[in-house]
Amino acid sequence: MKACRLITEGILRRGLACVTNRQAVQISDHIFNRSGAVPGILDAVVVQGGSVPSRVKTIKDLRANKGFRHVDVKHQIVMAYESQVSQGLGSINFFPPSQTGGGEPRSSLAAMKIQDPFPHEPKVLWIRYVRSGDGQRLQQQFQVDGDGGFAVREIAMDMELDQRAGSVQMALTKEEFVSCVLSSPLLGETLRRLSTTDNSNRRVPDGHPIKLDVAVADPTREDEEEDFMDAVNVRQGVLLEIWDYDALSKDDFLGECWLPPLSSIGATPKQFVLPVRGAPADQDGSLTRPDSKKRLDRKLKCTGDLFLEATWTFPLHEAQEGGEEETGEGSPPSLERRVKQEEMLHTGSLALKLVKAEGLRKADAKGSDPYVCVYVRNETFGKGDSAQGIGAWGWHVSRTGAHEAAFQSKAVTKTTDPVWDQQSELQLVTGAFERRGGRHPPG
């Protein structure tokens, strides 16, 4: 593992990666260690007093006990450990003998830039750390005298290689080393850039040109993103208008309501109770279907609720490989076949069941003869946009340019609480796909 740390540090340094030596060691251990354990300082405190009672086993217990005064020095210990790792030449042990000199090794709080919180008093420096290899959590205590000095002992952040567990965790074969480098994007990509400096074609042998007929369907991969957005947001609005049938004059407007977004309905049948409201006064085409007959006298109020059940299945058909229209065995599908498959992937089915309505306003003295018209609006169109079969604001129109209802229910006579119990199924393509292709769903 020490060799792996030096190699990792060299690759990252030549690749101009902005990491410290300690970070390079942790990256190396994370890549090459079998358990992915990395060494590091977890906690460090200075505790007032010459010793810590035996009942206090961990730093967590110390902090929970308010009878002990202590100061957190984790930041300073991490910085001191960072400095020692930078000079360790692959060794990550804290206070190694090579850096503490001969004789009895000593250090001080001042050497680690720790301001003595309890001057002229005995204290304890308590360090909790995790070692590499197996990731075991350990701790070490140092008795600090009143001047801030203490005798240091090496903190082994590496497992012992002479033990069986250590030899398994801290060693790897050449094959494992190569596999780890290739599986790491950080090391593998950095090493690739360092080893591919010659990009000239001087040594490339002359080849024989081959004529290819290549068709790139989506070079910018924008269609893939649009397909995802189509599934999340269908962008086809469904407006339900309620009218009073009148055989001798124009039908009276009783109110309208919007179906919730299709993507929120799903394939499981859902029941809705939609409040019936009047059309906005400004007749904005994005909020209602423009129609002069919707302008009512201020005294007339649209009231009631519409009860219905709806399901939305999308896509209606899954794309299939091959088919009857293929030119032969093993041949790709024809252009017409691919167009058909695209339409199938962007087409959904709306099953709509009109159950009843309650509390509608009276159109005359005898009540009303209500019926429902269902209109579809492509929400990707604006006021000035149009396409084949789609007029201003995205409302579906007939060949004559008049707004075309996708479905119309029967009329129930002389009632303000009609019961239709009538079901229909509408096939709708997503708004974005309909705008790109200008197509209605297949019949």
239-286 tens-digit pLDDT: 999 999 998 889 999 999 999 999 889 889 999 999 999 998 887 888
Residues 6+ apart with CB under 8 A from 357: 242, 276, 304, 305, 306, 307, 370, 417, 418, 420
What pLDDT does residue 100 have? 59
Mean pLDDT of 66-70: 81
CB 325 within 8 A of CB 333: yes
SS3 368: coil
Residue 71 has pLDDT above 80, yes or no: yes
Residue 230: in which H helix or E strand, if any?
helix 222-232
DSSP annotation of 236 reads E
Confidence of residue 125 (pLDDT cuts 50, 70, 90): very high
Residues 6+ apart with CB under 8 A from 409: 354, 371, 372, 373, 420, 422
CB 137 within 8 A of CB 128: yes
DSSP annotation of 45 reads E
Q: Which residue has the higher pLDDT, 438 or 103?
A: 103
What pLDDT does residue 338 have? 76
Confidence of residue 224 (pLDDT cuts 50, 70, 90): low
DSSP string, 383-410: TT--BTTB-GGGBBB-TTSSB--SEE--
Q: Which residue has the higher pLDDT, 107 or 205?
A: 107
Residue 55 has pLDDT above 60, yes or no: yes
DSSP string, 241-296: EEEE--SSSPPEEEEEEEPPPGGGT-SS-EEEEEE-BPPPTT--TTTS---GGG--
CB 105 within 8 A of CB 151: yes
What percent of the chain clears pLDDT 70, i.e. is strictly above it?
Answer: 89
Structure token digits, residue 404: 């075309």
Mean pLDDT of 6-16: 87
pLDDT tens digits, 282-303? 878 889 999 999 988 888 899 9
Q: Which residue has the higher pLDDT, 137 or 317?
A: 137
What pLDDT does residue 94 have? 85
Confidence of residue 231 (pLDDT cuts 50, 70, 90): low
- Strands 419-429 vs 347-358: parallel, antiparallel or unpaired: antiparallel
Distance CA(143)–CA(151), nearest Å, equals: 7
Lowest pLDDT segment from 33-42, 208-217, 250-259, 432-441: 432-441
CB 354 within 8 A of CB 423: yes
Q: What is the pTM of this model?
A: 0.49
